[in-house]
């Protein structure tokens, strides 16, 4: 029987809340219900894994998934946001992209969220504006890129928390569709599904072997399957090297 990871469990709880408040549909929730009993069985193993994060004195290690605040980033958060990007990817390119997007008028409106444990920034997620070419409908669209978690906080559910909070705020603001180019085993846990088979094409060609990495999630039920076209993204992202998964 399949088990939920900690990341999936946090996303599952958030999805239940969003579903009950009418912000998302039941499709993803129903899929995850089939694994609920497996998740219950995994609680004992999860508790053992969490204990591994206790140091010799019996205090919790530096990162605690339950002691994190997720806030909309402000201009004063920029140094911390860029530091998270550099730490997460161990290079400067993602930090440079984030800074470019934050200063790109074509990326507006955008949503930038920073996760903090106390005063320490441990995660960041960015959603920027996009459009759907050839679509007869006037849709509000966002692109998720990038999602960054500092190494010490990875694989603890923080990515799922950032995604869930971002989707909640985007739904409240009237966004219809959210796209992402990312790991095809990770993002479906958070409600995304392959976009190409739905007639929604990436800004640049995606190799067939990586087609599942181009994904979409509807925040307003009833849109997927009724629209098609190519996604146009912010100028700062409009470079082919950013579209190689």
Q: What is the pLDDT of residues 45-72, one digit of tens each?
A: 334 333 433 333 233 335 555 689 999 9
Res. 78 pLDDT band, cuts 50 70 90:
very high
At residue 88, φ and ψ (nearest 5 deg) are -65, -40
**42: pLDDT strictly greater than 70:** no
Task: Say what the pTM is.
Answer: 0.75
Percent above pLDDT 70 for the chain? 73
CA distance 227 to 205: 19
Res. 43 pLDDT band, cuts 50 70 90:
very low
Write the CB contacts of 142 (distance below 8 Å, at least 6 apart in sequence): 111, 127, 128, 129, 130, 170, 175, 177, 178, 179
List the one residue out of 97, 74, 86, 92 whose CA is nearest residue 235. Answer: 97
Res. 135 pLDDT band, cuts 50 70 90:
confident
Hey, what are 242's tokens? 């950013």
SS3 content of the chain, % helix, strand, coil (to 5): 45, 20, 35
Sketch out the chain's domains with CATH numbers: 66-243 (3.40.630.30)
**Choice between 78 and 50, residue whose per-residue pLDDT is larger:** 78
DSSP 8-state class, residue 158: H
CA distance 16 to 112: 24
Hey, what are 50's tokens? 């969490």
At residue 112, φ and ψ (nearest 5 deg) are -120, 120
Worst-scoring range by mean pLDDT, 44-53, 74-83, 232-241?
Answer: 44-53
Write the CB contacts of 166 (distance below 8 Å, at least 6 apart in sequence): 111, 113, 125, 127, 144
Res. 37 pLDDT band, cuts 50 70 90:
very low
Worst-scoring range by mean pLDDT, 45-59, 143-157, 202-216?
Answer: 45-59
CA distance 208 to 192: 18
Instruction: Give the number of C-alpha atoms closer than 13 A to the C-alpha of residue 232, restricted to the C-beta side.
Output: 9
Helix, strand or coil, per DSSP, at residue 60: strand
Residue entry with tokens 């507006």: 108
Q: How crowded is residue 55: how many other Cβ atoms within 10 Å of its Cβ?
A: 9
Res. 84 pLDDT band, cuts 50 70 90:
very high
Cis peptide before 109 (omega within 30 of 0): yes
Q: How crowded is residue 59: how many other Cβ atoms within 10 Å of its Cβ?
A: 7
* Paired sense of beta strands 177-181 and 193-194, if any: unpaired
List the one residue out of 58, 34, 42, 14 whose CA is nearest residue 158. Answer: 14
Worst-scoring range by mean pLDDT, 1-10, 111-120, 152-161, 169-178?
Answer: 1-10
């Amino acid at each position: 029987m399949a088990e939920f990871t900690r990341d999936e469990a946090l996303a599952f709880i958030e999805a239940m809340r969003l579903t009950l408040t009418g912000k998302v549909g039941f499709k993803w929730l129903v899929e995850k219900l089939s694994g609920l009993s497996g998740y219950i069985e995994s609680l004992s193993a999860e508790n053992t894994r969490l204990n591994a994060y206790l140091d010799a004195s019996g205090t919790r290690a530096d990162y605690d998934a339950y002691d994190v605040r997720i806030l909309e980033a402000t201009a004063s958060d920029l140094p911390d946001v860029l530091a998270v990007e550099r730490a997460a990817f161990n290079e400067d390119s993602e930090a440079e992209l984030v800074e470019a997007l934050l200063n790109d008028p074509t990326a507006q409106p955008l949503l930038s969220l920073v996760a903090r444990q106390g005063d320490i920034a441990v995660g960041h997620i960015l959603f920027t504006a996009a459009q759907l070419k050839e679509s007869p409908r006037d849709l509000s669209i966002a692109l998720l890129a990038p999602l960054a978690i500092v190494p010490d906080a990875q694989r603890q559910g923080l990515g799922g928390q950032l995604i869930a909070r971002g989707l909640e705020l985007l739904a409240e603001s009237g966004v219809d569709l959210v796209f992402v180019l990312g790991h095809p085993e990770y993002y479906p846990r958070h409600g995304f599904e392959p976009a190409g088979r739905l007639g929604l094409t990436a800004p640049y060609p995606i190799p067939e072997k990586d087609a599942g990495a181009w994904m979409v999630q509807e925040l307003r039920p009833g849109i997927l399957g009724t629209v098609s076209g190519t996604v146009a993204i912010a100028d700062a992202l409009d470079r082919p090297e950013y579209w190689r998964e």
